[in-house]
Structure 1
Amino acid sequence: MSSFPVIKLFSLFVKQISKPIAGYIKRRSKDNYWVRTYICIPPAQLYHRYDVRLRLWISGSTKGKKIQPLEEQQAINEGADLLGEMFVLSVACGLIGMEYYRQAWNAAIKEEQQDTSLTRLTKDMRKLRLMLNEQSDDIDELVRLIEVLSEKPLGVQKVVTIPNR
C-alpha cells in the first residue's frame, strides 16, 4: 500500500509557484537601483561578452574584434532575466536535494529494519539449534534407558545433531 504522494505534490507546487516569483523578482530588480546596478548589469555584461566570444570563435573570426557592451536597458533586462532564471534553477536544485535526502533517509530506515529482522532470525535459529540438540540428547538418553530396562538393544540409530554454523 502506497501513501498519498504529499511530498511530490508539494515539490510540484513549489516549482509552479517559483515561476511567478521569478517574474516578480525580475520586475522588482528593474526598479531597484542597487539591484539593477550591482546584481543585474554586471552578470548581463559578462554573459554578453562570453556569448559574443563563443559565437565569434565558432564562426572562426576571433581576431581584432572588440566586443561592444550592451546598452544599459538591455543589460538590465538580460540581468533581470538571468536573476529570475537563477531563482528557478536554485528552487529546482533545492527540490532535487530534498528528494535525494528523503530517499536516502528512507533507504537507511529500510536497511535498519532489514538488519533488525536478520538479527532476530539469527537469534531464533540459534534457539532452535539449541532446542534440537537438547531434544536429541533427551532422545539418546531415553533410548539408553529403554535398552537398559529391556536389556536388549532395540536397534535404534543415534540421532545426528546439527552442528552450529
Structure 2
Amino acid sequence: MVAAFPVAKLAYLGIRQLSKPLANFIRDRARASPFFKKYVCMPPAQLHHWYETRLKMRELGLKSKSVAKLSDIDAVDTGATILGETIIYIVSALTIFAEYRRQANKEQAKEELASDKMTDLEKSVQDLKQLVTEQRDQCEQLQLLLKSGKK
C-alpha cells in the first residue's frame, strides 16, 4: 500500500525555513517604524523580560522589588523574535488544524459511503425477500391449479 504524502510535515518544514527571514523582516520593520516599535514589539518584550527575570530570581531565592527594563534595541530584537515565533506558531497550528479537518472530512465521506452501501444492500435484501415471497405464493397457486386439473 502506498503511504500518503506527508503534506503537513512538508508545510511545517517550509514554515520553519521561513521563520528566520520573517523574524529579520519584522525586526527591520520595527527598527524603521516608531509605531511598530513602540506598540507592537516593545510591550511583549518588556513583559517577557520582566517575567523571565522574576522567575529566575525566584529560582535563585532572591527578592527584588523592581526589574530594570530592556534597552530599546534589545526590546525591539526580543519583541520581533517573539512576534515572528508567534506568527510561525499560528501558521503551524492552522496548518495542523486544516490537515486534521481534511482527514476528518475524508473519514466522514468514507463512513457515509459505507453507510449508503449498507442501506442499498439492506434494500436489495428486502426486495429479494419480497420477490421470493411472491414467487412462493405463485408456486403454491400453480400447485393448487395442477392438483385441481388432475382430478
Q: TM-score, normalised by structure 2?
A: 0.82
Cα 1:92–1:45 shift into 2, 3 Å: same
Maintained 8 Å contact 2:8/2:95: no
How far apart are 1:70 and its partner, in Å?
A: 1.2
Cα 1:105–1:97 shift into 2, 3 Å: same
Deviations 1:23-81 (A, max 9, x none): 3223322322211111111110001111112222223334x442111122111111111
Give the Cα separation in 1 of the matches to 2:8 and 2:51. 37
Aligned to 1:56: 57
Q: Which has the larger radius of gyration?
A: 1
Give the Cα separation in 1 of the matches to 2:110 and 2:66. 61
Maintained 8 Å contact 2:27/2:76: no
Give the Cα separation in 1 of the matches to 2:66 and 2:9. 50
Q: Which has the higher contact order (CA 8 A, sep 6+)?
A: 2
How far apart are 1:140 and its partner, in Å?
A: 1.8
Aligned to 1:67: 67
Deviations 1:93-117 (A, max 9, x none): 1111211221222123222212221
2:40 matches 1:39 = yes
Cα 1:53–1:46 shift into 2, 3 Å: same
C-alpha root-mean-square deviation of aligned residues, in Å? 2.6
Structure 1, unaligned stretches of length 5 or more? 152-165
Q: TM-score, normalised by structure 1?
A: 0.76
Q: Which amino acid aligns with 2:40?
A: I
Deviates most, 35-44 or 52-61: 52-61
Cα 1:47–1:123 shift into 2, 3 Å: same
Q: Which amino acid aligns with 1:31?
A: A
How far apart are 1:87 and its partner, in Å?
A: 1.4
Cα 1:18–1:98 shift into 2, 3 Å: farther
Maintained 8 Å contact 2:41/2:83: yes
Give the Cα separation in 2 of the matches to 1:135 and 1:68. 95
Deviates most, 36-45 or 111-120: 111-120
After the TM superposition, which parts of structure 1 deviate over 4 Å for at least 4 consecutive aligned residues? 1-4, 6-10
Q: Which amino acid aligns with 1:145?
A: L
Q: How many residues matched?
A: 150
Q: Which amino acid aligns with 2:100?
A: Y
Q: Which amino acid aligns with 2:138?
A: D
Name the structure with the higher helix share. Answer: 2
Aligned to 2:82: 82
Cα 1:8–1:55 shift into 2, 3 Å: closer
Structure 2, unaligned stretches of length 5 or more? none
